Structure formats: structure tokens, C-alpha cells
Amino acid sequence: MARYAMVTDLTKCVACQACTVACNAEWGVPAGYARTRVRSTPISGTFPHLASGVYVAQCNQCDRPPCVEACPSGATSQGANGIVEVDKSLCIGCGFCLDACPYDARYINPVTKKVDKCDFCLARLERGAEPACVTTCTAHAKYFGDLEDRHSDVFKMVYAMGARRMETSRVRVGPNVYYAGEQARADLVMAAFPPRPPRLLAAGEAWSRVLKPLVLAAVGATFVGQAVAFFNQLRNGEKDFED
Amino acid sequence: MDNTVSRRRFLGTIAAVGAGTAATSTAVNAENHPPGWSGTQRVEKIATTCEMCFWRCGVLANVADGKVVRLEGNPDHPLTKGRLCARGNAGTSLLYDPDRLKFPLLRTGKRGEGQFRRISWNEALDFLASRLKAIAVEHGPESVALFPHGLSARFFSTLMKAYGTPNSAEPSFAQCRGPREVGYTLTFGRELGSPEPLDLEESRLIVLIGSHLGENVFTSQITAFATALSRGAKVIAVDPRFSTAASKADWWLPIRPGTDIALLLAWMNVLIAEGLHDQEYITRYAQGFNELATHVREFTPEWAAAITQLPAAQIRDTARAMGAAKPAVVVHPGRHVTWYGDDTQRARAMAILTALLGSWGRKGGIFLPTPIPKGAFDLPPFPDPPRGRADGAGTRYPLASEELGVTNGLVDATVTGKPYPIKAWIVYGQNVLESIPEPQKTLKAIDALDLMVVVDVLPVEQINYADLVLPEATYLERYDSPSIVTTARQPFVSVRFPACDPLYESKPGWWIAKETAKRLGLDAWFPWNTPDEHLATIIAPMDINGEELRARGAVAFPGRPYLDDRAADSESPFPTGSGKIELFSRELENLGADPLPRYTPVEDPPAGYLRLIYGRAPVHSFARTQNNEVLNALMAENEAWLSTRSATDLGLREGDRVVLENTDGVRSLPVRVKVTEGIRQDCAYLVHGFGQRSKGLHRAFKRGASDTGLMTRVKVDPLMGGTGMRVNFVRVVKQTTGI
């Protein structure tokens, strides 16, 4: 099975935002919201010895996605290819997954009231096309491919050129979005936009540890009750309502 | 991708299809860009050309039920190869902007009040024609001026030449590229053109002088720049501001504004003194080297250091880096280069530096244009205008282009009535209040007019001063005159084909010009009935057919970009008077100007004031896109960049609201402060295009500050009439009441 990954070359990226707008256009993301965001770090240093960097943020399709655990309705799940998907028909817009995501990569669509985020353009992949952001990138700074394929660009960039993940000692969720480029540039970005520890306890974790079994039990109990009633009805026949 | 080979292969396909069944455009379309999906929607894909800026990138419009649902890059386009910037991707938000001009409008109130009456196209064009006829009788046709811009502007240029006026001027000359085209033509015998013929992919060193690539997005140039970076090309960024390009540069030279010629002379000094220039190339192709060597002998890095406020060692190091990388060095000629009034001379200095490095016509430098034959109509000769140009092109400004003209010269003539009065303006595809500096003067000129006509897509501020407003179809709804690009590695032709029908009552530029011509009895200059007929004539000598072009959107031809490709040619690759690269310019000497560039001292800001500099953001083009829903959401207003030191002195913090006030007391709208180490202490920086004052633009109205509004002074280049616009100073006034 493919293990999809995306690599952004921070040396090449000029923060032109083509990826943001292409993604918005492809997926009907309302203006002001985004599935992929470009952010510039503040300029650091003292004139004239300065440095700055660019960060392209999106869903990292983590190996251990905290959002999946946090989702109470089962709308967020991870496919065998590693892509984290949101089933819009199951999403209740509770926002627990927003708290859980260390990369702030999710938003709630104000029109549909459902959560939305990057899915590596899964629908495009299924038609043999690359993600919209990769196709449009003016600086040719984005690469997409399969880490299981030793000949892919992403394999070379990750394993030979040492593209890195945005992880810290506190946040290790196995992101599959990588960043290539000079160490110093990546360090700047990491210092400016570190992943935030998932806020699971208050929301998702409490849900998954306590509420989830309770609700499941309740759902199960309801089902049993319904079944009992149904069989009772079968046995006894339907009674007319009395006015 | 080898476009030449694929073109032949494609021609083969056409022939096969043609032999079998009737080759319809649909069949060919299916061959190149089959219907597909956009998001989860099934769409037709129509190849066309972007106009969110003027780089002319290839676009595929994804159309479902007559509605453009998505734009994407056209992978078949020889230059942009499927890449498309943020603005290009946001084009549908222009098409469906509810603020668009929808109907022809006739002014009912006073100029500037914005009171109009909706009229029909018949009424509008009858009005226009009758006024133009009356003006021709009363004042002569030469008293009508045209301000054109863009591909469809050609139809209006034809119309006005046929009408009999010589007065047409585009801001792309006197407010943008003019000085460099003149400076490089004086040196190499040919202008650079657009897109700039820069061999960035192959370059080993890129020298940016005030050019902030990255914030200034020309798609294919960004791709090439980024490719060069990833291949290890070095970058020298000369800029008073720490731009995106500077953040990627190996050397950032935060130069004292206006002193670039001193730096360029010092670089030449080092190259020649240390023998780092390309002597073989100079001997073979150039004249005037000895004069140049003598001229720059005194301009040492130490001399330049005192002027530019850059360390002498850094000047020397960067010159050596150029010498080591030659000839694969691109000294980027810049794009908007009208800064200090000595701009032609700065362009000359850059051209001479390019020559010393042997880069012109060499791999990794600047490549030579390859012409492609273009068809022409058999038109009657244009009438001789009763009087010569009013803007001084060719006379007061001896080296100004008589084809592109001097916009500010026309404004001056309108205000003063000299050399003769200008009574009417027709503005097409540009915004004279944002593109031309000294908008106060422009308004004064408009006040003196009998007739002001604006052809536009959006209700920008200038329409409020128009007598007649003609709503044009957007680039996605119209056919435009084909774009023929000779300045790419492979020359190509591309066309803007309509992706959908015009909305409301908007009409394409070609239709407006042709219908006006009909009413003026000038039909003979528009001897075609449909866009297809027009296109067929233009591409007739190109050995391609219209269906192929329609299917692909663009077709490329083999290029001969390097001097080596021209070795067997009998003509000199340098069409100057001497047939050589003219390091020393006899032409300038004859005009009484410096035949070799010389640094002229620049004025410092008065106490308490900062020099106003300005530039671009990647998500906006000029003042054209600020109302676009998607782009506005990404950047709704600009910020005033101030150095940490300036901000501290003024007691300002990041995000504070200020107004900028210039030395003539003109104030900007309120703007937020960005406090940064990334700008020189003597400068303030604004992104251009904000602070618009048209209520009709609901998103852009009064958001941010206009740099143009603060340009009450310019320094005019005596050689070509360009307006130096970086000569304005502002002080920062804290706003205590917010908006």
C-alpha cells in the first residue's frame, strides 16, 4: 500500500500563496478559510544581519492522528494509504478535532458547518492527478509521492536529502508532510510555528475514554430495547392507539 | 517538454483527424484537454490566457453549464507549463464579482460625484461617435488622447490612429519599463521586452537590483528563479528592504536608496581592475572599452561605500562573485524601474555590467529574441495627424518611444494646453489615478477635458470622473488580439479565447472598438467580422492552424536564444549604429548626455521624514485585484513598514494605526504599522494598489494607504520622460481614533 507524503522545499518557496488559492478553488473553500496556509516567520536578527523563513501548513496525514481519536462521530478516519479523511455525512461539526490537531490544519466550513481539511486531494489522486497545490506551485517547491517507491521524488528528498518533519519532543504524531531546505531555515520555521500538543483531555480524550463507552452502551441499550419491543410486537400483534 | 516535437506530433494528429472526419474544434479539444473534473464536478476545459496580471500565463478554464467553476494552469503552455499564481487561480472571483460594471453609463451629476444614468450600447456608442466627430471638427483629431493597456488595447490603438490622433500613451513605458528599454537599446541595439529574456534556470549568479521576485510574481520567472536556487545559484539582492528575495540571497546589500549607479560603477571598477571581466567577448562584440576603463578608474569600492552606505569589502566580494560566475550571470534588468529620474543611466550601467560579464546572448545570461512571422491586414494608410505628438515623445524627451508614448507628457499637455490643447481622453485597461503619479495633477487635467471615456471592468475611482463608462467583458469572456512572445527560449503565440459568454451587458474590447469605428466611418481599418477571421489573418504566416491553437491555447516554435546559434548570420546580433555593443554611447554624447553613466547625488529625506518606497505583494496586481473576494481575504490592506528604530522613536508598536503625510501635506488613509528590522531606518514601505477611494469597490474601499496618492512629486528622466517616483518623503502621524 502506498504511503503518501508531501515535501515542501523551503529554499524554493517564495510564499506566493498560489497553493492556497488553487486549493480554495478546487474544493470550494470559502474566502477567508483555507485547507493549506502559507505563513512567513517574523524577520529575525539585527539589521543588516537578518533571516526569515516561510512555512506551508496543511494536514500532515499523521501516522498517529490525534484527530481520529478525538472524533466522536467516527467522521474522521484514516485510510490504509495513510490519508486522514473526513466523512462529511457523519461530521457533526463539534470541533473536537480542531483542538486535537497539533498543526491547526482543520477549519469548520461556515456554509456546511462541517469540518474540512487537506486530504492530499484524494479525489484527484484517484483520477491520476497530483494534488492541486503541487500542480500549481509557481516555485515548483512542492513534491508529492509515495514513500514506498524508492524512485519517487519524495523518497529521495526524505531519505537521501534529509527533509524533516515538524515534530518536537512533546509532539510526535508521525506527520507525513516534510520540509526540505537548509537547516537554519527549517529551524526558524520550527521556532516560529511549532506544533502544539494536542488538546485531547478536555475534549476528545474525555470523550474517547469516558463518554464514548457510555454513549455506545446507550446506543446498544436503545437497540436492545427496540429489538425487544419489536419482537414483543411481533408476538402480541399491533394494538390500536386509544384516543 | 519539447514543444517543437509535440507540435509536429500534434499536426500529425490534426491531419489524421481531418482525413477521417470533419475536424471540429471539439474533436481537437478532446485531443489536448479532454473534459475532466474540477473538485467533484465534471467540466469542459477551455485553453485561454490569464489577465490577472500582464504575464499572459496559460490557463485552462474549467466550465460546467456555461459557468467557469475553476481556473488551472495549462500544462501545454510553453512558458508557464501548468503553473499558475494565486491571482490566476482567483480569476473566477473577478468574473463573478458583484461589483462589476454591468451597463453603459452616462454621467448625470458633476465630475467626481459618481451620478450616472444607465443607457443602451446604441446610445452609448452614438454619443461617443458624435462627440468624437464634433471634437475633430472643432479642435482637430489630435486633441483626443488614448491611454491604452493590455492585449485588446491594440483594437483601440488602431481606432485612434484611423481617427487621426498621434496621442496614445501607456504607463508601461513612462511609469514602468521605459528607462530600461531605452538604456539597453542604447547599449545592445535591442530592447528587452516582456517577458524578460532571462536565462535564470541556467544562471550561476542572479543580481537583483530593487527587484523583489517572489513578492513580484511572474509565474515562469518565479519557477526559473526557484529552480536556479535549488541548483545552487547564488543571489545578490540590492534592496533597502529585506524582501523575500533578500531572505534567500547570499548577499543582501541594503543600499542607500538612489545610489545604485555608484554601486554599479564600483562593481565595474573591480571587474576591470582585477581583470575579471570577459575580455574576449568585449574585444569581439563591444566598442568603447578603453573609455569605460578610464571612466570607472576613480570609482573604487571605497568611493562607492561612502555614497551607498555599503561596506567596501562587500562591494568587492560581490564583484568578484560575478567575475567568477561569468558569463552565467543574470543582472536582472528589473521591471518597474522609474525611480529617481536618472533611470535610463542606471539601466545603461546595468547593461554595461552585463556586457562586461559577457552575459548577453550566453547560456545563463540574457538570451536573444527569436522573431516569428505575424500576419497583417491590408489596411488603408492611417491619416497623417495634423500636428505631432503632444507628449514630447521624440522631441522634448528625445529617446521616448513614439509607439508607447509618455502618459505624464499627455497629462501635462492637457493641463497646460501646450503644445496644443487635449480635449478628450479615452482610457482603456488601466486606471490613470493609480498608474500615473501626481494624481492631483491628473484630476486637474481631467477637469480640463470636454470628454472623458473609461472602458473598464470594475468601478474604480476614475469612472466617477468619466462622462461615459463602457463596461468591458473580463478576460474570461472575450477574445483578445493574439499574444506573440519572441523573448522566450522558444518563441510562441498564445490567444485569449472566451471561456463563457459576457455577463450583464458587458462587451469585449474588440467589439467596442469596431462598433465605434463603424459609427465614425472608419470600417476600412477593421476589415474582419469575427474574432476567428481576425485570428486567422494574424496567424496565417505561422504554419499552424487555428484549431490547433484553440486546442492548446499556445503554440511554440524553435528558438535561437544564444549568440552561438547566430554565428553563421551575416547580420550583427547587436543592431546598434556601430553593430557592436556600445559601452560608450555616441548617441547620448550627441544628445549632450553622459555617454558613460555617472552617479548623480540623491536628495536625503528632510529631518523627521522617511523616503517612501513601494512594491508588490504576490496576491495582488497593481490596483486591479484588491476587490477580488479571494485575494482580498488573503490581503485586504497593506501595512506601512517602519524600522524598529523609527517606530521606537515615534512611540509606535506593531499594528498601530497611522497616516502618512508627505512634504506637501498630503495625507494617506489610515494604515497599520509593521515594525521590522527588515528595512532601512530612512525608509517607509507600502505595497502598491491599496487605499482606493471608489465606493463601488465594496471590499477595497478605503482599505490601506495609497502610495500613488502620496506621490505629489516626480523627477522626470530627461531622456525618455519617465517619472521617477521614489523621490517622495513622508512623516508618520499616529492616529488616536481608529476606523
The 10s digit of each residue's pLDDT in B78-130 is 999 999 999 999 999 999 999 999 999 999 999 999 999 999 999 999 999 99
Q: What is the mean pLDDT of residues B423-434?
A: 97
Per-residue pLDDT band at A212 (split at 50, 70, 90): low
Q: How many whole angstroms separate alpha carbon B447 and alpha carbon B466?
A: 10
pLDDT for position A231: 72
| Contacting residues of A for B40, CB less than 8 Å apart | 123
Q: Over range B391-400, report the average pLDDT.
A: 98
A221: pLDDT confidence band, cut at 50, 70 and 90? confident
Which of B37, B89, B222 is facing A139, going by the closest CB pair?
B222
Please give the pLDDT value at position B399: 98
In whole angstroms, what is the distance from residue B232 CA to residue B169 CA?
Answer: 42
In angstroms, the separation between the Cα of residue B731 and the nearest Cα of chain A is 22
Chain B residues whose CB is inside 8 A of the A44 CB are 677
Q: Is the CB of B630 less than 8 angstroms away from the CB of A24? A: yes
Share of chain B above pLDDT 70, in %: 95
Contact list in B for residue A24 (CB cut-off 8 A) is: 89, 630
Confidence class of residue A224 from pLDDT cuts 50, 70 and 90? confident
Indicate the residue of A16, A47, A53 with minimum beta-carbon distance to B677.
A47
Angle between helices B509-519 and B153-163 (to 10 degrees): 10
A11 touches chain B (CB under 8 A): yes
For chain A, how big is the Rg over CA atoms in Å? 22
**Closest residue in chain B to residue A52, using alpha carbons only:** B247
Question: Mind listing the pLDDT tens digit for each residue in B324-351?
Answer: 999 999 999 999 999 999 999 999 999 9
**Which pLDDT score is estimated for B23?**
32
Q: What is the nearest CA distance from B50 to chain A, expressed in angstroms? A: 14
CA dist B670 and B705 (Å) reads 6
Q: Which residues of chain A make contact with B678, given a CB cutoff of 8 A?
A: 43, 47, 50, 52
Minimum CA–CA partner of B86 in chain A: A18
pLDDT of residue A232: 73
Range B365-369 average pLDDT: 97
* pLDDT for B26 beyond 80: no
Interface of B with A in 54-83 (CB under 8 A): 70-73, 82-83
A138 vs chain B: nearest CA distance in angstroms? Answer: 5
Question: Is A52 in Cβ contact with B247 (below 8 Å)?
Answer: yes
Percent of chain A having pLDDT more than 70? 88
Answer whether residue B3 shows pLDDT above 60: no
- The pLDDT of residue B27 is above 50: no
In chain A, which residue's Cα lies nearest the Cα of B58?
A136
Cis peptide before B419 (omega within 30 of 0): yes
Q: Read off the pLDDT of each residue in B724-732 and give the average, rounded to a whole number.
A: 98
Confidence of residue B7 (pLDDT cuts 50, 70, 90): very low
Give CA–CA dist A59/A41, Å, rounded.
19
Q: What is the pLDDT of residue B735?
A: 83
User: pLDDT tens across B441-479, in order?
Assistant: 999 999 999 999 999 999 999 999 999 999 999 999 999
Q: Are B142 and B423 in contact (CB under 8 A)?
A: no
Interaxial angle between packed helices B509-519 and B121-139, expressed in degrees from 0 to 180 and rounded to the nearest 10? 60
Q: Indicate the residue of A21, A54, A127 with minimum beta-carbon distance to B89.
A: A21
* A139 interfaces chain B, CB cutoff of 8 Å: yes
Percent of chain B with pLDDT over 90: 94
Q: What is the pLDDT of residue A240?
A: 54
Q: Considering only alpha carbons, which residue of chain A is nearest residue B616? A: A16
Q: How far is A211 from chain B (nearest CA, A)?
A: 36
CB B701 within 8 A of CB B693: yes
The residue-averaged pLDDT of B375-379 equals: 96
Is B34 near chain A, with CB under 8 Å? no
Tens of pLDDT, residue by residue over A44-85, are 999 999 999 999 999 999 999 999 999 999 999 999 999 999
Q: Give B450-516 as a DSSP string.
A: SEEEEEESS--GGGGG-SEEEEBPPGGG---PPEEE-SSSS-EEE----SSPPPTT-B-HHHHHHHH
d(CA B319, CA B724): 27
Contact B242 A141 (CB under 8 A): no
Residue of A85, A119, A138 to mutate when probing chain B, most B C-beta within 10 A: A138
Q: Where are the alpha helices (DSSP H) in B529-651?
A: 531-539, 546-552, 586-590, 629-634, 644-650
C-alpha cell at position B82: 501548468
CA distance B59 to B597: 42
With cut-offs at 50, 70 and 90, classify the pLDDT of residue A208.
low
Out of B86, B90, B229, the one facing A11 most closely (by C-beta) is B229
Does residue B12 carry a pLDDT above 70? no
Q: Do B618 and A123 touch (CB under 8 A)?
A: no
pLDDT digit string, tens, across residues A136-163: 999 999 999 999 999 999 999 999 999 9
Q: Mean per-residue pLDDT for B24-43?
A: 72
Chain A residues with CB inside 8 Å of B242's CB? 43, 48, 50, 52
Contact B654, B700 (CB under 8 A): no
B152-178: per-residue pLDDT in tens? Answer: 999 999 999 999 999 999 999 999 999
Mutation target vs A (from B211, B213, B248; most A CBs, 10 A cutoff): B248
* B294 alpha-carbon distance from chain centroid: 36
From A216-220, B306-310, B355-359, the region with the lowest mean pLDDT:
A216-220
- Note which residues in 239-268 of chain B have CB less than 8 A from chain A: 242, 244-248, 252, 254
Distance from CA of B147 to the nearest CA of A (A): 30
How far, in Å, are B30, B59, B460, B464 from residue B496 at the CA level?
Answer: 19, 9, 24, 29
Say whether pLDDT at B647 is over 70. Answer: yes
Q: Is the Cβ of B633 closer than 8 Å to some Cβ of chain A?
A: yes
Residue A115: per-residue pLDDT: 98
Q: What does the pLDDT read at residue B40?
A: 87
Interface contact flag, A25 B40, Cβ < 8 Å: no
Number of residues that make up chain B: 739
Say yes or no: B213 contacts chain A, CB-CB below 8 A: yes
Query: Which residue in B214, B643, B677 is closest to A15 by CB distance?
Result: B214
The residues, any chain, with a CB within 8 Å of residue B462's CB and separated by 6 or more, are: B427, B431, B432, B433, B454, B456
Distance from CA of A25 to the nearest CA of B (A): 6
**pLDDT class for B679, splitting at 50, 70, 90?**
very high
A27 touches chain B (CB under 8 A): yes
Kindly determine whether residue A51 and residue B82, on different chains, have CB atoms separated by under 8 Å: no
- How does the average pLDDT of chain B come out, rounded? 94
Within 10 Å of residue B117's Cβ, how many Cβ atoms? 12
ipTM comes to 0.93
- Rounded Cα distance between B495 and B479, Å, is 8
Q: Check residue B102 and give its pLDDT.
A: 98
Asked if B613 is an interface residue toward chain A (Cβ–Cβ < 8 A), one would say: no
Indicate which of A7, A13, A16, A182 best probes the interface with B, i.e. most B CBs within 10 Å of its own CB: A16
Task: Summarize pLDDT for B527-575 with one digit per residue, the tens.
Answer: 999 999 999 999 999 999 899 999 999 999 999 999 999 999 999 999 9
Mean pLDDT calculated for residue range B677-681:
98
- pLDDT recorded at residue A111: 95
Residue B19 has pLDDT above 90, yes or no: no
Residue of A15, A25, A53 lying closest to B70 (CB–CB):
A25
Residue B76: is its pLDDT beyond 90?
yes
Mean of pLDDT over chain A: 90
Instruction: Flag whether the pTM goes above 0.90.
Output: yes
Residue A226's pLDDT is 77
Which pLDDT belongs to residue B661? 98
Cβ of A110 under 8 Å from any chain B Cβ? no
Q: Is the CB of residue B408 less than 8 Å away from at least one CB of chain A?
A: no
